[in-house]
A and B are shown apart, each in its own frame.
Chain A
């Protein structure tokens, strides 16, 4: 099943009449040389065309609302509808970011309280909500580490330690912040190699970027020792909150010794992933980094009926690393996170980590019992774990990708595949706390059935998926013969 492009549905002169102003007033003072002299390149379609087309396109997607989506490291849990509905109340939606703070106290109160909640649940000193995605949260954190060292006159500290299992954004971020990346090996249990860490820290160490639990699905057991080693060398610890769901309300990054952290609110605080954004990379800092926080951050003056919330600027934070977005970050995402946090409350947050971990360990045990090989069989799973299909590959000649594609035919979104890079033919599986036991059991049954298919007729897997709107794509050819825009024979041609 495919859907033609919106451009192919149109007819010259057709349009949606009710949605635009009734007339186009004459604007005759724009000089000809500056005026539009080419087609605008938008489709000409009716209201019905638009609604039907995009509704049909939506139906070509897998999503949390329609499918189990155990995508490791992405925390694809239920997105409560109340968060969307209430964040979309007109008072919040219609507010201009530069409208006077006196007329935005309702929203600012929510954002301030969110800062306080996140501060408490992470054990940090202060939070800022401005980073617009996890990667920008990382950037903010490392930029603050740089600012901290520069402020102390430690200008030579330009090395960032990153475990080899880390998400690719970590090294990319370090580079954007002008740092050199020093890679750390992993030991056989999936922990950072402590001996190598001792060797690599030096007077050039700016800091270390760590995810804990790591991308290998295990909790870093030596974290307190790692913190001592890095701090002892004069470096700071940055916590990548990609896996915060595993420990929310149970263990706090601040207590582990982290100096600065980011949280992915689109994961742990259940704001929508939206087909790839918007996210939010809220930041938490220790007291020694407070003065470098990005702006704007929300402050509070007064108490009780006199309480006033205000935007902190350079005047309040003269050492700030500055502004990273045109306005206030992804405010609408933050409002959803706030509503979610209030619905959960303190006990609900702890339950997130507990049941995410329960589901993960249960699913790992069931798959292990069913004969699948897990990467770290002697470790507890965190909120996610790794299965390696290297045995299936050598026995049946099918890859992790083949398994993943066949899972789609069974109505399950595939786990994260081939990440982390350290484990061959791997599945990184994260069930999240919002899935029922029956769903997990059904996933195990599908995995077992697919392995049977691999044994009987591996071609079934290699040809998969066969029941979706599309078959497998030739991505190599697509990258060679780039077609990035529809060519209607007009200026839209690429």
Chain B
């Protein structure tokens, strides 16, 4: 029996101790009408060898392809040690550190993670992580509504330059919380928050302004001005960042002329999580110390034990659902523990110099890619202005068809934006991380040139 150690003698003896005849007797309190189940649609069990063969065959089908898609999930090199250590059974098969004396490994990892996140973002405190970047934005919005006591409007300004999926998730998770999400358009020239559109809300009661950096188009927002705008209008500034970019970009804790952003969230995936078809990733959430009690999710703090030695515990638990029940700051009762373990090991291996080199190589590769692609007739950048490691290109044909033809040539050329933005037909969001070589960039350019040529001169 897979994963069950009992011998026939065990079962016999155990039933005797219980005073039951058969295992089925143990279910005799349950209405007999419920106890006649057939599971025909489920296959018979298979051996590990059989499953291995099946999974290798299926994984093989999905292999290959040169990936230039970003849009919130990024291909990075993950050092071998990261998952070798993360999948040690002591990390992999432990649970939430309810007994701190028996969980110091997990707890210290989270404390180190929180410290690294504070360092990267320039914020005071970090939680132990949330599910992913999009749900972290939803939680940040709810947190801002709790934390900004001076604002009564529950109005949150959500620029269109924020990832479209993040905007959807924030709306869906906050759907029954009477949050008034207001869209702020982007500037057609730069692809960044349109200052005139934002200024329409100047002087109004605004609870929070969401500031993406880099934004969904890869473009760099004028974060200083936006943060100051928020604070001048009594709103909290919620930063949405890519942690990898922070090696090159100003820490959100230093945005603007005052104390910086109030809450910072982001997708942690670039820090050691494989793409894996969409998850598991993790959401980072940091804030100013004065808002710490409004923060959702788990937090680890340093504590002293009975011998006066330093150690780590889950702290601020009175905010959480198991104590506060219907009045909790969130219903969240886990973090993405294993991903945080991987991220902490990943950041330790990279260190400040490794992170800087990785981020700079991403930026340089994307610039080199853009140079190659815009050298092709009819291909141009849609927005000008500075960017990190992604940008939007216009193609001389429908983007969907171009991407499909590129995929047939083994190149995943980016994300078509037509489905997400009116007026961005024939455009793709492209990204080249540090994993790409000059040869890879050439391969993309050659494939695109061939696709466009075929399109221009159909057989």
Our pick among A16, A179, A437 for the contact of B351 (Cβ within 8 Å) is: A16
Decide yes or no whether A168 CB sits under 8 A from chain B.
yes
Q: A79-B93, A221-B29 are in contact. List 18 more A-B contacts (CB 8 A).
A: A5-B112, A6-B112, A19-B350, A21-B361, A44-B351, A60-B108, A96-B75, A132-B132, A250-B35, A322-B171, A325-B131, A339-B55, A366-B17, A380-B26, A434-B3, A437-B13, A469-B101, A477-B303
Q: A463-B306, A494-B118 are in contact. Are A331 and B276 (CB under 8 A)?
A: yes
Whether the Cβ atoms of B172 and A322 lie closer than 8 Å is yes
Interface string of B150-169 (1 = CB under 8 A from A): 00000000000001011011
Q: Is A442 an interface residue (CB 8 A)?
A: no
Grouping DSSP codes into helix (H, G, I), strand (E, B) and loop, the A interface class, with mixed when no group exceeds half, is loop
A287 within 8 A of B: no
Partner of A250, one of B37, B292, B361, B403: B37
B382 within 8 Å of A (CB atoms): no
Cβ-defined contact, A136 with B135, below 8 A: yes
In the complex, which residues 306-333 of chain B have their Cβ closer than 8 Å to any Cβ of chain A?
A: 306-307, 309-311, 313, 315-318, 320-328, 330-333
Q: Across the interface, do A484 and B132 meet the contact criterion of CB distance under 8 Å?
A: no
Q: In the complex, what residues of B have CB within 8 A of residue A422's CB?
A: none
> Of the 9-residue stretches A46-54, A193-201, A228-236, which lies at the interface with chain B?
A46-54
Asked if B109 is at the interface of the complex by the 8 Å CB criterion, the answer is yes
B69 smallest CB distance to A (angstroms): 5
How far does the Cβ of A437 sit from chain B's closest Cβ, in whole Å? Answer: 5
A153 within 8 A of B: no
11 contacts between A and B (CB under 8 A): A20-B357, A30-B363, A58-B105, A60-B103, A97-B278, A275-B95, A277-B129, A332-B280, A344-B3, A470-B104, A473-B100
A448 within 8 A of B: no
With A16-B79, A41-B119 in contact, is A62–B18 under 8 Å at CB? Answer: no
- Pick the most buried of B39, B75, B364: most chain A CB atoms within 10 A of its CB: B39
Q: Are A95 and B119 in contact (CB under 8 A)?
A: no
Contact A471 B306 (CB under 8 A): yes
Looking at the assembled complex, report how far the CB atom of A326 sits from the nearest CB atom of chain B, in whole angstroms: 4
| Chain A 1-27 per-residue mask, 1 if CB under 8 angstroms from chain B, else 0 | 011011100100011101111111111
CB B242 to nearest CB in A, in angstroms, measures 12
The answer to whether B42 and A121 have CB atoms under 8 Å apart is yes
- Would A62 and B103 be within 8 Å (CB), given that A327-B73, A436-B6 are in contact? yes
Judging by beta carbons under 8 Å apart, are B92 and A91 in contact? Answer: no
Q: Report whether B331 and A472 are in contact in the complex, using a CB–CB cutoff of 8 Å.
A: no
Question: Is residue A305 contacting chain B, with contact meaning CB distance below 8 A?
Answer: no
Chain B residue contacts of A396, Cβ below 8 A = none
Tell me if B402 is interfacial: C-beta within 8 Å of chain A: no
Contacts of B52 in A (CB 8 A): 82, 86
Binding-face segment, B202-210, B228-236, B243-251, B450-458: B243-251
Cβ-based interface call for B193 (8 A): no
Q: Say yes or no: is A59 at the interface (Cβ < 8 Å to chain B).
A: yes
A324 touching B172, Cβ below 8 Å: yes
- Contact check, A19 vs B354: say whether CB atoms are below 8 A apart: yes
